[in-house]
Structure 1
């Protein structure tokens, strides 16, 4: 047998193992509300090749080998446990098992590592949480995809979408926009339009489309909706007074997918979501750029301290701009978005203070819109409180992306050919580009990619899960 034959045989063996993993992952998700992760990346509803690629990527950023042959025994061990709702990272289980010196079997180690999710310690599955989308634009449709994708596991149920009636075939057209997306591709599943009952049925989820021109016109209880979380993705109302209009019969809390004004809390999941008060009815998920810069900024502040900084965002164009030159109330945004680089303002720097009130460093910011439809990059230029070097910073940020509480927010890539389109569909708020990072003494310049549509939508759903009580703990804990 040749070397090439050996490599191909190994690939086929790993394919077979990955195929065996899929039904186990599916059963744990459906029957026990357990989400299986690999270094913070969900393996639920993933194909054989996707599972193998996720293992490959984890191996790349961890700097050491990781294969399905190593993680599969831990997945098998989970099936013998009395698990409750949780997230279990088999990549972390494999990594921590390597470093463990107790001589335990895989089964014994796994049982101890996830003991907080088993037996008397486990959480009970709770009733589903009703969710309403107010608006159905770019963010609204991506949040809808995520809610539908997770409906079988985490208890969030998209019950209704509120939009203005666009006239003939409105329901069909909105369903079509959910089904097909020029950037993010086809919807993963089936969509049926029930025009007689004004419903879109997506992967078995019945979603009522409610037509309304104003929040005060809707009584959600008429549609069987109760104690729902309403996600306003229109951006039309951004202060407490305006957003309070949504607190109608059937609606318990309101989440804004734009920076909040006044005393509306601006939340970046992973950084300050645990500051949300239980009785708070209105919160904001800040902006996509704020979500991209705040987690790495916190990471750098925690390790090195930050004296001052500047963020320059190179941002994809958005619906707020014009396709062709036309009047716009804001400076420069009236010029053609797909034909120009457009200097504009960003509120992300000033929003840092709301998400990181303990950070005393002054952060300034500016932005340039460029002719790409999705994925942006933030260049974070920091003066640190102590000197360091490039290797130390990269080792630290790589570790943050793998093992820290920010691992779902911060990703890490070290590729000589990475470009913006590579990050379409990223579920992280921010991706550190190792190859572009610059460090000179107390000055560090980080290049942070982010999918300003999908990555941000993932952050929104994480906040919704948290305030609804269905953001389950992740195992193993770092100290296992």
Structure 2
């Protein structure tokens, strides 16, 4: 047998194991509300090849490939336990077991590591929480995809309605089509049908009522059977407490804004300050995509090295706020063609840092350049640290943060030398540290942070909504503090 034959046989063997993982992962998700992860990446509803690629990606952050032959025993061990709703990272189980050294069996180690999700410790399944999307543009449709994806177990968040201004001719059909096909993010994973007679879009069995209105004060959501809902405002039309309070109508109890909030509206970056949300908070903001990209790594660096000052320069994909071709625009420069120019503009991300990280006293400045790509941006974060360090130390630290810290869902890490922006379309992290581009000289550090300003940000919004609704299930093994 040749070397090539050996490699192919090995691939076929791993394919077979990955294929046998799929029904186990699906059953845990549907019947016990357990989301199986691998280094913070969900394996639910993934194909054989996707599962294998996710395992292989581990070499980018952990330094070596993780094999399905290593993780499968832990997945099987989970099926023997009385698990409650939770997220369980089999990649972390395998990694921590390898370093444990106590001689425990896989079954014993797994039972101990996830004890907080079993028996008397397990939390009860919660009733679904209604969600309404006010606006159905780029972010609204991606949030809709995520909500539908996460409705598989029948619990958690339930998308009940979208509120839009009525367009001309076959409005609901066209909106369903935009949900079904996306030029950047590809096909919707599932089936979508339209019930024009009742004004509904039906996606993977989820009935979504389409409500037409251009004034939030005119909608009574209880008329559609919606109760105690979290409304996500994707329009950015209202950004202060007075304006957003218009959404607090019958059937809606909380409002989440997908843009930076003004005045006293809390700006929340999940993973950093989501634990400051009070149970009686009715209005909050998820800040901006750039704020979500820079605040987690900024916090990580401040915690370890201290930060005296910083500057962030974002090279940002163009957005719908810009003109396709030169035309009048209320803002300077944004009237020029987004597809043909680099456009200098402002970013509020630097000033928003103070709201998300009030204990960070270091001044942070910022600016932005819009460039002719439709999605994925990069933030160049230049920091003056309180102590000197080395590039190797910083990279080892950020790699560990991405693997085993409370920020592991926010910060990803990649060491590929040829990575470019399109490689990060669909990333569910708030930002990805590019190891190859990182520069450190004494007490100066420059981090290059990729981020999918559409999808990664939408995932952050969903995490905040899950936290607010009480359906943010605990993760095991627990990340290191």
Which interval holds the TM-score relative to the shorter structure? over 0.9
For residues 206-245 of structure 1, the aligned pairs below 5 Å read: 206-245=207-246
State the 1:479 CA deviation: 6.0
Structure 1 residue 76 and structure 2 residue 76: aligned?
yes
For residues 201 and 85 of structure 2, the distance between their equivalents in structure 1, rounded to whole angstroms, comes to: 29
Kindly provide the CA deviation profile for residues 21-50 of structure 1, in whole angstroms up to 9, marking residues without a partner as x. Answer: 000000000110000000111000000000
Distance in 2 of aligned mates of 1:214 and 1:23: 46
Worse-superposed segment, 378-387 or 148-157: 148-157
User: What displacement does 1:210 show?
Assistant: 0.3
Structure 2 contact 227–251 (Cα < 8 Å) conserved: yes
Structure 2 portions without partners, runs of 5+: none
RMSD (Å), alpha carbons: 0.9
Match of 2:348 in 1: 347
How far, CA to CA, are the matches of 1:372 and 1:197 in structure 2? 38
Residues 1:272 and 2:268 are matched in the alignment: no
Compute the displacement of 1:63 (Å).
1.0
- Confirm or deny that 1:181 pairs with 2:182: yes
Match of 1:125 in 2: 125
Q: Partners of 1:64 and 1:476 in 2: how far apart?
A: 20
- Output the CA distance in 2 between the equivalents of 1:477 and 1:151: 24
CA contact (8 A) 2:88 2:476 kept: yes
Tell me the equivalent position of 1:192: 193
Q: CA deviation at 1:65?
A: 3.7
Hey, what does 2:101 align to over in structure 1? 101
Match of 2:417 in 1: 416
Detail structure 1 runs of 4+ shifted over 6 Å in the superposition: none
Contact 2:131–2:160 (Cα < 8 Å) also in 1: yes
Which residue of 1 is the match for residue 331 of structure 2? 330
Mapping 1:372-411, distance limit 5 Å: 372-411=373-412
The one-character-per-residue Cα deviations of 1:421-476 (angstroms, maximum 9, x if unpaired) are 00000000000000100000000000000000000000000000000000000001
Tell me how far apart the structure 1 counterparts of residues 65 and 309 of structure 2 sit (CA, whole Å): 38
- Deviation of 1:121 after TM superposition, in Å, equals 0.4
Shift of 1:101: 1.8
Q: Distance in 2 between matches of 1:319 and 1:256?
A: 18
Cα deviation, residue 418, structure 1: 0.6
Check whether the contact 2:412–2:432 (CA below 8 A) recurs between aligned residues.
yes
Q: TM-score normalised to the size of structure 1?
A: 0.99
Q: 1:472: which partner in 2? A: 473
Please say which of residues 93-102 and 221-230 is displaced more in the overlay. 93-102
Deviations 1:239-262 (A, max 9, x none): 000000000000010000000001
Q: Does 1:443 align with 2:444?
A: yes
- 2 CA distance for matches of 1:198 and 1:140? 18
User: Which blocks of at least 5 consecutive residues in structure 1 are unaligned?
Assistant: none
Q: Secondary structure at the match of 2:472?
A: coil
**Deviation at residue 59 of structure 1 after TM alignment:** 2.6
The 8 Å contact of residues 311 and 366 in structure 2, kept in 1 or not, is answered as: yes
Whole-angstrom CA distance in 1 between matches of 2:81 and 2:271: 29
d(CA) in 1 for partners of 2:228 and 2:257? 17
2:54 matched residue in structure 1: 54
Change (3 A) 1:49 1:297: same
Q: Distance in 1 between matches of 2:438 and 2:107?
A: 41
CA distance in 2, matches of 1:469, 1:61: 31
Deviation at 1:64, TM superposition (A): 2.7
Alignment of 1:144-159 (within 5 A): 144-153=144-153, 154-159=155-160
Partner of 1:426: 427
Contact persistence 2:269–2:295 (CA under 8 A)? yes
Q: CA deviation at 1:2?
A: 1.1
Q: Corresponding residue for 2:163?
A: 162
CA apart distance, 1:211: 0.4
Q: What is the number of residues matched between the two proteins?
A: 480
SS where residue 412 of structure 1 aligns? strand
